[in-house]
Structure 1
Amino acid sequence: MKKFLSLLLVLIMLFTLVACGKDNNQVNSNENIANNENVSGTDEGEKVKVGLLTGVAGLGDKSFNDLAYDGAKQAEKELNIELKVVEPIDLASTEGLLRDLANAGNDMVIGVGFDMAEPMNIVSQEFPDTKFAIVDAVVEQPNVQSLTFKEHEGSFLIGALTALMTETNKVGCIPAMDIPFLNRFTNAYEQGVKYINKDIEVIVQPIGSDFSAFNDPGKAKNIAASMYSQGIDIIYPVAGGSGTGLFEAAKDANKYALGINSDQDYMAEGLVLASMMKRVDVAVFESIQDVVDKSFVGELKLFGLENNGVGLSEMKYTKDIIGEEVINKLEEIKKGIIDGTIEVIDVTAQ
């Protein structure tokens, strides 16, 4: 009996030790999980939060808004930011949406489009600790970066290409509206055409008189078809998402078009001679990077031919059609614009 009781006592002690060991191990394991969760939470907490408000035309324009989105998505991937994208239903809603994005705790709020200048000027003053950026407008507040482009330089260059390629000496331009900001494109385009040949006729036909004109490809197609029927053989669009209508008309008429903002050469292969590239994606990415790097300064940032902020596409489908002689001439003109020997008129600066 004594032996049995001694053996039983030993077994109980062993069981207790094993159980305690398991409990201690479980506690340690739980502590490690908690520590790992805290580390993960800290990483998440350190992410820069960015809110992007697109222009009224929204995403899918294969132009301006899509470029801004591309730059923000690149930052999300490469800079590990947290991104929120909002598309306004109309211009009147932009002030409230900018305010909502700032109220939501975003470290940075980006507005896409010159029409957001006044709303951003108001909202940026309400949130002095939030960083803001606006594309295509200047807002003079200490917490706002104004991302602007020398579109007139790129438009002059593509106008020169147009003049070197037209066979009818009659070319066209379709802006969304007749307003100063878009006139800096159209006037410089005409100046580039006339730089090569003063006798070429340039026909300009706006789509409409409000911001819906940036998203009306049907009307743009009708205007382009009419232009082609009148002997115009190359057309430059300055109308955001409406430009897709021009490409449809170009394919129907088998005549040339030009692209704008992004590389749109693929949208009518062999018929889009070149696109006037406006690197909104680069500007947006760099502005976000300034916030991530803690080097953000409220200032004007200007992108032109000299720093590759604007320029022509690589002409992937038309290089052989255009020819080496014309391409060399364009390079010569580009250098002249950069060094100032060719003066391109910016109508908004007059």
Structure 2
Amino acid sequence: MKRSNAAKFAAVAAAGVLALTACDNAAEDTGDSGNGGGEEASEIRVGLAFDVGGRGDRSFNDSAYRGLQQAADELGVETADFEPADGEADSDKQDRLANMAEEGFDVVIGVGFAYQEPMEAVAENYPDTNFAIVDSEVEGHDNITSLVFAEEQASFLAGAAAALTTEEDHVGFVGGVETPLIHKFEAGYVAGVEHVNEDINVEVDYLSQPPDMSGFSDPAQGREAAQAQYDRGADVIYHAAGASGNGVLQSAVDNEFTFIGVDSDQYENAEEQQKPYVLTSAIKQVDVAVFEMIKSVVEGDPQTGIQRFELADGGVDYTLSNEEAIEPIQEELDALKQEIIDGEIEVPTQP
């Protein structure tokens, strides 16, 4: 990013925690609209299109939704959110984005890299609409803002946490769909494990291959993959699989192994009986990025270009919610975190 966002992220993230919810009920594709409770209602209208898995994934989509809700509550913007259909084509995504722009939404946000080509196709026809995409770098469009994250940095800390807590010297990674984005999670995680102990065995499994995106929305398959890794000896498993990660967590409960969450604080979102099994989560502040994008439009100075969020500005991190579990290794993780920030550790982005 062009300037440090540390203070901004701390303030906005703190506010976002107050609104943290499980978001278990998904909205229909026709949109879930509402006005914010701010002191002054804004004339700005914001539409947000979810990625595979939709609301209720307790991860990536729910984080984006928290940012949308925070904007409604604090900025008074009118919001609507839209669910994807199972197995939908790019043309469906393109129609969804175009419909929002045509209906007069001032800000149109696509959650997930799958919206890149549909958004590029639509944005040029609506130059006065502020588009934003999460997890994809788009260049050459003045009205598209890219909200991207250093997922590999947070994943490195997840890998270090796994290595510091495994009793079997055997850990696992479950990826939703094998794409370049999820490769960043895998690469960082494996690097973090190996930095602590090169002799630890790391299991890696993906639930689906492109163009099949079901790996992000199949908890049963996530549970099956985690069970298989556990049966092969893994006692700590990290996932980057969207809603499928809920199955990984359930497998952790069933088999009493350690789970590491992703994107959102999955300890906070877990059911009470699941929480003891959640060591930490490698989070990226999608909610903060979404809120700040909307806020920039409300304030009349819309963000543009590529907005990149890293450990240094609090855009990615690991969570401390399960204090009893994380406290014994927190000092070591914080030291590694600082080494990454200082450039002493360079985290790979490819396996």
Q: Fold match, TM over 0.5? A: yes
Cα deviation code 1:96-146 (max 9, x no counterpart)? 100000000111111100111111111111101111111001122101110
**C-alpha distance in structure 1 between counterparts of 2:326 and 2:286, whole Å:** 27
Task: Say whether the 8 Å CA contact 2:150–2:310 is kept in structure 1.
Answer: yes
**C-alpha distance in structure 1 between counterparts of 2:59 and 2:324, whole Å:** 25
**C-alpha distance in structure 1 between counterparts of 2:46 and 2:285, whole Å:** 19
RMSD (Å), alpha carbons:
1.3
Q: Partner of 2:76 in structure 1? A: 80
1:343 aligns with 2:346: yes
Post-superposition shift, 1:347? Answer: 2.3
Q: Partner of 2:110 in structure 1? A: 111
**Which structure: greater helix fraction?**
1
Q: Partner of 1:321 in structure 2? A: 325
Q: Partner of 2:124 in structure 1? A: 125
- Return 334-343 or 223-232, whichever deviates more: 223-232
1:286 aligns with 2:296: no
Cα deviation code 1:205-262 (max 9, x no counterpart)? 1111221110100011011112112211000111000000011111110111111000
**C-alpha distance in structure 2 between counterparts of 1:212 and 1:227, whole Å:** 20
Q: Partner of 1:223 in structure 2? A: 225
Name which of 276, 279, 282 aligns with 2:282.
276
1:192 aligns with 2:195: no
**C-alpha distance in structure 2 between counterparts of 1:173 and 1:244, whole Å:** 14
Task: Say whether the 8 Å CA contact 1:124–1:143 is kept in structure 2.
Answer: yes
Post-superposition shift, 1:299? Answer: 1.3
- Return 330-339 or 263-272, whichever deviates more: 263-272
Q: Partner of 1:94 in structure 2? A: 93
Post-superposition shift, 1:297? Answer: 3.3
1:311 aligns with 2:317: yes
Task: Say whether the 8 Å CA contact 1:165–1:322 is kept in structure 2.
Answer: no
Q: Secondary structure at the match of 1:55?
A: coil
Cα deviation code 1:277-336 (max 9, x no counterpart)? 1110000000000000011132111111111111011132xx333443x21010000000
Where in structure 1 are there 5+ consecutive unaligned residues?
Answer: 1-42
Question: What TM-score results when the alignment is normalised by the length of structure 2?
Answer: 0.84
Name the amino acid aligned to 1:82.
E
Post-superposition shift, 1:195? Answer: 0.3
**C-alpha distance in structure 1 between counterparts of 2:183 and 2:43, whole Å:** 40
Matching of residues 1-350 of structure 1 within 5 Å: 47-89=43-85, 90-92=88-90, 93-140=92-139, 141-209=141-209, 210-266=212-268, 267=270, 268-316=274-322, 319-324=323-328, 326-347=329-350
Task: Say whether the 8 Å CA contact 1:108–1:131 is kept in structure 2.
Answer: yes
Structure of larger gyration radius: 1
**C-alpha distance in structure 2 between counterparts of 1:300 and 1:91, whole Å:** 26
**C-alpha distance in structure 1 between counterparts of 2:84 and 2:244, whole Å:** 18
Name the amino acid aligned to 1:215.
S
**C-alpha distance in structure 1 between counterparts of 2:226 and 2:296, whole Å:** 42
**C-alpha distance in structure 1 between counterparts of 2:254 and 2:303, whole Å:** 49
Task: Say whether the 8 Å CA contact 2:280–2:326 is kept in structure 1.
Answer: no
Q: Secondary structure at the match of 1:257?
A: strand
Question: What TM-score results when the alignment is normalised by the length of structure 1?
Answer: 0.84
Number of matched residues? 302
Name the amino acid aligned to 1:230.
R
**C-alpha distance in structure 2 between counterparts of 1:338 and 1:91, whole Å:** 39
**C-alpha distance in structure 1 between counterparts of 2:309 and 2:297, whole Å:** 19
**C-alpha distance in structure 1 between counterparts of 2:89 and 2:155, whole Å:** 27
Tell me the percent identity: 40
Q: Partner of 1:15 in structure 2? A: none
Off by >3 Å, runs of 4+ in structure 1: 321-324
Name the amino acid aligned to 2:111.
V
Q: Secondary structure at the match of 2:148?
A: strand
Name the amino acid aligned to 2:250.
E
Task: Say whether the 8 Å CA contact 1:56–1:91 is kept in structure 2.
Answer: no
Q: Secondary structure at the match of 1:347?
A: coil
Where in structure 2 are there 5+ consecutive unaligned residues?
Answer: 1-39
**C-alpha distance in structure 1 between counterparts of 2:46 and 2:344, whole Å:** 41
Cα deviation code 1:82-107 (max 9, x no counterpart)? 11111121243100100000000111
